[in-house]
Structure 1
């Protein structure tokens, strides 16, 4: 009997390590399952795997998220909302203008372009403007010219002035003096220069010429010391107080436009820089070997913030829809096959809501399904909420 108990104790002792090992492994397996994490890419939430690594699309490090959390909302404190600049507004019914956006460009207004040329033959002794891109004010000295022709005209002017004084009763000398003065004015001399000439009584072959208008030096045609013929171009000045906006349009688009109509223009892709242009001209024929017409209008350039060559988007109105449920376009987050907005449900809770969109204008988008009037949608900060949701819960699935 004692021998039988001894054998039972011996067998139980031998089996204990195995049982303990199995129990420990089972507990470890349970712990592993409990702490198992899922990893995703912040930029590409469709990338999901059960181990750390890098995104095969963009190469970013994958981040963990809790896939067991089934709550489809985020909760943010007031401080977090202020830090993320989250604002919301109630969805409402209103009128929606339908636009077609066409690409255009800003160009120089030729009416503000001034070519300065030499009215006399001679040699440029001093050139005061030697580079392009600098501003020039009206009356600013541009160059000093050596001209024997102007010297002769000045001497004629002084002589006829003396004759007018000596023969003050003879109208012919007064007319000859006026003709000599008018000739110098036509050759580019100013009233103040002629007054100084009469005061000094001395002629000079060196004459300074001044800018007849203000502008930016766009092109320079001469160099210092160069000999000029009469009519030679000196420089080209461009003014930028107004600019032209041009765009290529198809005939079906031209049907929505009339000359004199005011259109909205988005300059350089900046939604805060929405300007107005008046259609001044639409070409009556197609461009060579195309079916494209051209639209042109002028646009104000206060502060010279617009630049030549800057891209512009012209919004062509196609009609108006009344009693439309709409939200600001920037409140909608668009993915490949779906769109959603974020609903502010109170208490710091924000819930994603999939929507079906319709007509879009510049600022607003029609909501066909997914929202009801009065619900509050997040206007600014929606993308931050979406990123936070992806990081914590993974991809948003409809």
Structure 2
């Protein structure tokens, strides 16, 4: 029984050898330029990833796979960020017009939004009993001071009345005109505190106003803001002081320059973007709040070795690139990558300038490399590392000792070692009959060498 099991183990080993050999020679038949049926196994380099070996591809097979290469280049990396910006008012130039005294609006001069106003020009006139009373007190105090030659505090009363008028936003020029006129002004004009465009108008003729009530909103459009949303992963590239190039769909072919003046310190939780502010001169009024602008930020990042993104196989744990060498040899290399910019990848280690890396057909070469490494490993497991394989059939295997067992001279009853080349009654051509263990005669078994 022991001899029987030893013999069966030997037979099983032979069958596995035949199977692995056929797989090996099928792979070899696809490779031209081989001498004597020997499979070239290039020695892996120091940076070769585990589980892969260099691959040999003939020019014909490279053409079928569509292999393309590109040299590793040393150059400065420029990152281009494109985004859409919104033209907005410069918040520093917004002005709200209010009154500090109650009264009724008369003589509404600026009566529509969008009208241009200049600083110091009348917006409307307001009739206020308190303002009228203070004017009378001021005129009386001045008259008394002149008659009494500033005696008995008449000058102090005039100064107090003047100060009250100034606190109510009555301009010194208006007070001077009041002094020359010598009569109170029934409805005192309210002057514009800034130049710009009226963006909102709440004032109406005859409307009663109270202190602090907003009547106009004026925006100076000589300088505007462009607010741009930048994705979170692009924020490290943005710095204040950088210049941006802007274009408008309403002005094709024209380019405008602006400077980044502020990066808002918070993100929009829904879009995961942060807002940056670009300031633009708008003396000609070409930029109107509410417009959209195309914004391009060209940033000089760093200098280093660059390869196309398609040349890098990233498994998450390691990055691999295939380097083309002489004789159709493609060597896998473990590389370390840095920045990813504009469909290019910065290589920190693993490649040298001028080396040609595969950019097309990378996945097929990677599969070939892993397959050959697996086959090499299987042959090592069954002891085929030192065998010399010649031809595409198992004519003879040097270095193989079956321990006195000759498979050609000995026959076993009930077992056919052929591959179905002979026809057996009741069975189709090409199918081997099953082994019948009970028909084997243990006496006919050859002695095993010890």
Q: What band does the TM-score fall into relative to the shorter chain?
A: 0.5 to 0.7
Q: Residues of 2 paired with 1:246 and 1:276: CA distance?
A: 14
Shift in Å, 1:96? 9.2
| Distance in 2 of aligned mates of 1:169 and 1:225 | 41
Residue pair 1:256, 1:317 contacting (<8 A) in 2 also? no
2:4 maps to which residue? none
- Separation in 2, partners of 1:176, 1:282: 53
Return 5+ residue gaps in structure 1 as ranges.
Answer: 1-93, 323-357, 361-398
- Alignment of 1:278 onto 2:259: yes
Deviations for 1:78-103, whole angstroms, at most 9, x for unmatched residues?
Answer: xxxxxxxxxxxxxxxx9995422111
User: In structure 2, do the counterparts of structure 1 residues 173 and 312 end up closer, same or farther at CA, with 3 Å as the change threshold?
Assistant: same
Partner of 1:208: 189
SS of 1:153's equivalent?
A: helix
SS in 1 for 2:166: helix
Does 1:257 pair with 2:244? Answer: no
Equivalence for 2:164? 183
C-alpha change, 1:207 and 1:99, in structure 2 (3 Å) is same
Change (3 A) 1:192 1:157: same
Q: 1:116-195 to 2 correspondence within 5 Å?
A: 116-168=97-149, 170=151, 172-195=153-176
Do the aligned partners of 2:106 and 2:206 also contact (CA within 8 Å) in 1? Answer: yes
CA shift, 1:210, in A, is 1.7
Change (3 A) 1:124 1:99: same
Question: What are the Cα deviations for residues 200-251 of structure 1, in whole angstroms up to 9, with x where unaligned?
Answer: 2111332112212211111111211111112221111111100001011112
Secondary structure (helix, strand or coil) at the match of 1:233 reads: coil
Task: Report the Cα offset of residue 159 of structure 1.
Answer: 2.0
TM-superposed deviation, 1:169? 5.3
Alignment partner of 1:305 is 2:286: yes
| Structure-2 separation of matches of 1:237 and 1:165 | 42
Structure 2: tracts of 5 or more residues without a match:
1-74, 304-340, 344-450
Please state if 1:227 is matched with 2:171. Answer: no
Q: Which residue of 2 aligns with 1:218?
A: 199
CA distance in 1, matches of 2:152, 2:264: 56
Instruction: Kindly indicate whether the alpha-carbon contact (under 8 Å) linking 2:243 and 2:297 is maintained by their aligned counterparts in 1.
Output: no
Divergent runs of 4+, >6 A = none
Retained in 2: the 8 A contact 1:250–1:292? yes
Shift of 1:172: 4.7
SS of structure 1 residue aligned to 2:106: strand
Find the residue that maps to 2:97 and give its secondary structure.
Answer: strand
Cα gap change, 1:98 to 1:147, in 2 (>3 Å): same
Secondary structure at 2:245 match in 1: strand
TM-score (norm 1): 0.53
More strand by share: 1
- Report the CA distance between 1:173 and its aligned residue: 3.9
TM-aligned CA deviation for residue 189 of structure 1: 1.5
SS at the partner of 1:156? Answer: helix
Cα deviations by residue, 1:158-197 (Å, 9 ceiling, x for unpaired): 1222233244455954343223212212212122221121
**How far 1:276 sits from its partner (Å)?**
2.0
SS in 1 for 2:266: coil
Name the SS for the 1:130 alignment partner. coil
Match of 2:223 among 235, 242, 263: 242
Larger Rg: 2
CA contact (8 A) 2:80 2:342 kept: no
Scaled by the length of structure 2, the TM-score of the pair is 0.48
Equivalent pairs, count:
232
RMSD value, Cα:
2.7
